[in-house]
Chain A
Amino acid sequence: MRVELRDIRKHFGAVKANDGISIELEAGRVYGLLGENGAGKTTLMKVLSGFHKPDSGEIILDGEPAHFGSPAQAQGSGVGMIYQDPLDIPAVRVVENYLLGHDSQVTLRFAAAVRELKEYAGQLGFAVNPQEYIENLSLGERQQLELIRLLALGAQVLVLDEPTTGISAEQKELLFSSIRKLAKDEGKTVILVSHKLADVQDLCQHVIVLRRGKVVGQADVPCPTDELVRMMFEEIPPRSQRPSQVQEGVVLELHEVSITTEHLSLEPVDLVVRPGEVFGLAGLEGSGQRQLLQACARLIPVRGGQILLGSQNVTRWSYQRLRESGVAYVPAARLEEGLVPGLSLTEHVALTSEETSFVIDWPALHQETRRRIDRYQIVGRPETRVDALSGGNQQRTLYALLRSPLRLILLEHPTRGLDVRSAEWIWQLLFEHVGSGGAILYLSADLDELVERSDRIAAFSGGVMSRVVRADQATAEELGHLIGGGR
C-alpha cells in the first residue's frame, strides 16, 4: 500500500510535535524513521495509526484520503502499529489474545484460530504455543504475536516502534528476516521507528530523519552512519574515554543471595561491588537480573543469604531505611514508578530534598529547582508538571532528584529510549557520582552500553549468574554467549 502523509501538524499545547511533515512511502519497502528524543517520530506514527488525530494535514492511502478516529479504524484500512510495549492482555492465552478484535461472532472459533495462528507463525518462522499465557512470554514473543495479529487483520502497512528494545539477538534476527519477507514477497509497507542506527542500516532501504517535528533529511540505505548522526544532531556525539575509578574496599557485597519469585528462582549469587565501580548486569528480560537489583534495593524479599552495605548487614532493612543510608534506586518506568504524574518539578524537589521542613519554603525550593534545571539541562520550568516533559527530560529529572553523595546507585536501563546525546550526558553524570567514591550496579539490555560503560559485567540466564567478566576485555560476542547461558 502506498502511503502519503501531507503536511501533518500536531501540537500538544505549545509543543509542536509534528510541524508540517510530508512523506511518501512506497509499497514493498522498509523505511526507517530516525530522530532524537522528542523529534516527533512516535507522534507521527500515532497519527498514521489512528491513535492521534492530526490538527491538520492529510493521510492518503493508495490515492484515497483516509480519516481515522481510532486505531481500530486504521486497522480496518490496513494500517497496524506495534508499540514498544505490546498492547496485549497479560492474563489471557495466546489464542484468546489473537481472537480479540478479530472474531466478532458470539462463539469463538478456537480450532480455526489455532490453525491460523500456526500457519502465520510458520510462514514467518516464529514458534508459537497457542495455549501459553501472554504473561509467560518474553517481550520478543509478544511482539511476534502482535505482528501475526495485525497481519491476520489484513494490515498492509506495518509500523514498528523501537521493536528491538528488550529482545534477544536471535529474536531480533527472526523479526528482521520476517519483516524483509513481508516487504519483499507480500508488498507490505514497513516503517521502523528507531534510535538504533545499526538496526536501520541493517533492515531499511530508505531512511527519513526528523528533528523538532520536521523532516530534516532523507537518504537511501546503506549510507554512512556519520551522515545519519549528523542529520539527527548536527554534530557527532563524542565517545567517552575514561580511566577506571575503581578503588579498594567494598560498597556492596552479596553472600549466597537467593531469591524466589512467582516466575523465577534465582540461584545463590556472590558478588562484590567496589567503590568507584560500575557493575553491569546483562541478560534477556526475565532472567533474574532485575530481581537481583530489586533485592539489593530491598524491594523484594530474599530467600537466603546476606546483603552487606559496606560492613553492615542490610538483608532485613526496609527500602526507606536503605534509601536514608545513601542507596538510590532508579526504576526503568519513569512515569509509572519514578515520578509522580501531576506534580511539578518543584514539588518533586520538595518531596525528595533532605532539608525540606514541615512547612515548605516554596520560594527557596523554586530557586533550588531552577538550579537543578540548569545543572541537569531539563527543558521545563519549576512549575512544569513532570508528565508534560518529554521522555528524555523525565529521565534527567529522575537523576536531578538523586541525593549527593550516594554510596550506591541501582539502575534499571539507565538510558533506555534515549537518544545518543542524552545517554552520553547521563553517563557523564553517573561517572561523576562514581568519581566521588560511589558505586553503580545497573542492568541494561544494550550490550554496547554494557561494554562501553561498565568496569565489570555479569550476565544472567534463567536465574543463574554467569562468571564476572572485565568490560574492557569483553566483546559483544562473548557476552551474547554468556547471556545465552554459556559458560
Chain B
Amino acid sequence: MSKARLLRLLWLTGLVGVALAVTGGLLAIFGVSPAQGFGAILRGAFGDAPRILSVTAFWVPLTLAAAGLVISFTAGLWNIGVEGQIVMGAVAASWLALKLDAPQGILVPLEILAAMAAGGLWAALTGVLKTRGKVHEIFGGLALNNLAVILTNYLISGPWQPPEGGTFRGTQPFPDKAMLPLLGESRVSPISLLITGLAILAVFYLLRGTIWGLRLKALGKSPRAAFLLGVSSERQALLALMFCGALAGLGGAVRVLSWFDSLRQSISGGIGYLALLVVMLSGFRVLLVPFISFFFSAVLNGSISLQLRTQLHSSLGGILAGILVLLVLLFGEVRLRRIFPRRRRE
C-alpha cells in the first residue's frame, strides 16, 4: 500500500473515531456509558447469526440502490427520485406476486424483471421531465417519490387490501412460491446476494471499460463540452437515470420478496435517501459502496437492540451515521488533499 493511501485510510479512520467520540458524548449526557451503548449496537448488529443475517438482508437493497446511484451521479444527476424508484419496483413485484399464478422458477424472475422495468420507467419519468420539461431532477424526483408513496397507500387500502378488510398496513402475505428463496429462517436470499455482487461489478466495469461509462463521466464533468464533443446529453441522462431506476426497483423487489412478504405502507423506509448518503461518502467509487452500506446497515440494525437494552431511542444509530456523514463531507477527500497534497506523476 502506498504512503498516500495509508494516510488516507488513517485519516478516514480518524473521522470515524471522532464520530464515535461525539456520539459517545451524547450517550454520556443521557446517562448511558458509551462502552455499554456501543457494545449494545455491536451486539445488536453482530451478536449472533440471525442478527448478522438481518444486517445483510438490509444491506442488499441499500447496496443495489447505491450502485445505481453511482451511475446517475457520474452523469452529474441528482437522482433524489431513487426512493420512489424503489417503491415502484416493490409495487410492480407485488403486483405479479399477488396476481400471477406460476411456478417459483418463472414467477420470481418475472417479478424481478417487472420491478426493474417499473423502477427504470419511473426514473425515465424524472428524466423526461428534466430533458423535455426543464424540471430539475431533484424537484421532479421528490414529486415522484410522493406520488409513489401515495400509490402504495392507495393500493394497500383499496384494490389490493386483504379480503378481511383494509388495515392500511399492508397487503395479505404473498404465497411462498412468489418469494425469493431464503437462507433458513433469515430474510436473506442467496439470489439477491449474488445479484448485488454482479450489480457492483457491472457498474464498475461499465464506468471503467465502456464508452457509455465514459460518456456519462464527460456529461457529469462538463455537460456543454460533452455535448459539443458529440455526446447526446438528453439520451445519456435518460439512460443513466433508467439504469439507476432499474437497480433501485430491484432493491424494491428484494424488500417485498424477502425482507417483508407483502407490500407495506413504507416499503422503502428511506433506503433511497440512505443510499444517496452512501454514494456521497464513497466519493462515487462503486467499489467502496458495499463497505459503506454495510457499515450503515450494521449501525442502524444494531441500534434497534440499543433501544431494548438501554431505553435510548434507536435513532441514536441514525445520529451516529448522520454525524459521520457530515464529518466526511466536511473533512473528507477535499481537506485531505489540502493537508497532504497529492503529487503529480512525473
Binding site for B on A (CB under 8 A): 13-14, 319-320, 323, 329, 331, 336-343, 347-348, 350-352, 356-360, 362, 383, 388, 401
B78 within 8 A of A: no
Q: Are B221 and A341 in contact (CB under 8 A)?
A: yes
Which A residues lie within 8 Å of B344 (CB)? 13-14, 388
Given A331-B228, A339-B225, A358 and B210 contact (CB-CB distance below 8 Å): yes
Q: How far is the CB of A388 from chain B (nearest CB, A)?
A: 7
Q: Kindly state the separation between the CA atoms of A351 and B210 in the bound complex, as whole angstroms.
A: 10
Which B residues lie within 8 Å of A339 (CB)? 222, 225, 229
15 contacts between A and B (CB under 8 A): A14-B346, A329-B228, A331-B228, A338-B228, A339-B222, A340-B226, A342-B221, A347-B217, A351-B211, A351-B231, A352-B229, A352-B230, A357-B211, A360-B214, A362-B209
Which A residues lie within 8 Å of B226 (CB)? 340, 351
Q: Kindly state the separation between the CA atoms of A401 and B344 in the bound complex, as whole angstroms.
A: 25
Q: Are A350 and B211 in contact (CB under 8 A)?
A: yes
Interface positions, chain B 198-218, Cβ under 8 Å from A, are 209-212, 214-215, 217-218
Closest to A353 in B: B211
- Compute the total of residue contacts between A and B using a CB distance below 8 Å: 72
Which A residues lie within 8 Å of B214 (CB)? 343, 347, 350-351, 360
Q: How far is the CB of A68 from chain B (nearest CB, A)?
A: 19
B134 within 8 A of A: no
Q: Are B218 and A343 in contact (CB under 8 A)?
A: yes
B343 within 8 A of A: yes
Q: Kindly state the separation between the CA atoms of A401 and B225 in the bound complex, as whole angstroms.
A: 13
Q: How far is the CB of A227 from chain B (nearest CB, A)?
A: 36
Which B residues lie within 8 Å of A338 (CB)? 225, 228
Q: Are A340 and B225 in contact (CB under 8 A)?
A: yes
Q: Are B229 and A358 in contact (CB under 8 A)?
A: no
- Which of B209, B228, B343, B346 gathers the greatest number of chain A CB atoms within 10 Å? B228
Taking a contact as CB atoms closer than 8 A, the residue among A323, A329, A340 that contacts B221 in the complex is A340
Q: How far is the CB of A449 from chain B (nearest CB, A)?
A: 23
Binding site for A on B (CB under 8 A): 209-212, 214-215, 217-218, 221-222, 224-232, 343-346
Q: Kindly state the separation between the CA atoms of A158 and B29 in the bound complex, as whole angstroms.
A: 59
Q: Are B225 and A337 in contact (CB under 8 A)?
A: yes
Which B residues lie within 8 Å of A336 (CB)? 222, 224-225
Taking a contact as CB atoms closer than 8 A, the residue among A337, A341, A360, A388 that contacts B228 in the complex is A337
- Which of B210, B225, B231 gathers the greatest number of chain A CB atoms within 10 Å? B225
Given A338-B228, A343-B217, A358 and B211 contact (CB-CB distance below 8 Å): yes
Which B residues lie within 8 Å of A359 (CB)? 209-211
Q: Are B230 and A320 in contact (CB under 8 A)?
A: yes
Given A14-B344, A359-B210, A341 and B230 contact (CB-CB distance below 8 Å): no
Q: Are B230 and A351 in contact (CB under 8 A)?
A: yes
Q: Kindly state the separation between the CA atoms of A329 and B230 in the bound complex, as whole angstroms.
A: 10
Taking a contact as CB atoms closer than 8 A, the residue among B229, B232, B346 that contacts A351 in the complex is B229
Q: How far is the CB of B13 from chain A (nearest CB, A)?
A: 28
Which B residues lie within 8 Å of A340 (CB)? 217-218, 221-222, 225-226, 229
Q: Are B227 and A319 in contact (CB under 8 A)?
A: yes
Q: How far is the CB of B69 from chain A (nearest CB, A)?
A: 19
Q: Are A337 and B211 in contact (CB under 8 A)?
A: no
Q: How far is the CB of A437 from chain B (nearest CB, A)?
A: 22
Given A342-B221, A343-B217, A388-B344, A348 and B209 contact (CB-CB distance below 8 Å): no
Q: Kindly state the separation between the CA atoms of A383 and B229 in the bound complex, as whole angstroms.
A: 19
The 10 closest A-B pairs by CB, nearest first: A13-B344, A340-B222, A342-B221, A340-B218, A340-B225, A340-B221, A356-B211, A337-B224, A337-B225, A352-B229
Q: How far is the CB of A93 from chain B (nearest CB, A)?
A: 28
Given A340-B221, A340-B222, A342-B221, A348 and B229 contact (CB-CB distance below 8 Å): yes
Q: How far is the CB of A128 from chain B (nearest CB, A)?
A: 33
Which B residues lie within 8 Å of A343 (CB)? 214, 217-218, 221
Taking a contact as CB atoms closer than 8 A, the residue among B209, B222, B232 that contacts A360 in the complex is B209
Which A residues lie within 8 Å of B217 (CB)? 340, 342-343, 347
Which B residues lie within 8 Å of A350 (CB)? 211, 214
Q: Are B343 and A320 in contact (CB under 8 A)?
A: no
Closest to A401 in B: B229
Which A residues lie within 8 Å of B232 (CB)? 320
Which A residues lie within 8 Å of B345 (CB)? 383
Q: Kindly state the separation between the CA atoms of A190 and B149 in the bound complex, as whole angstroms.
A: 66
Which A residues lie within 8 Å of B230 (CB)? 320, 323, 351-352
Q: Kindly state the separation between the CA atoms of A372 and B232 in the bound complex, as whole angstroms.
A: 25
Closest to A331 in B: B228
Q: Kindly state the separation between the CA atoms of A350 and B222 in the bound complex, as whole angstroms.
A: 16
Which B residues lie within 8 Å of A342 (CB)? 217, 221-222
Q: Kindly state the separation between the CA atoms of A343 and B221 in the bound complex, as whole angstroms.
A: 8
Which A residues lie within 8 Å of B224 (CB)? 336-337
Closest to A324 in B: B230
Q: How far is the CB of A393 from chain B (nearest CB, A)?
A: 15
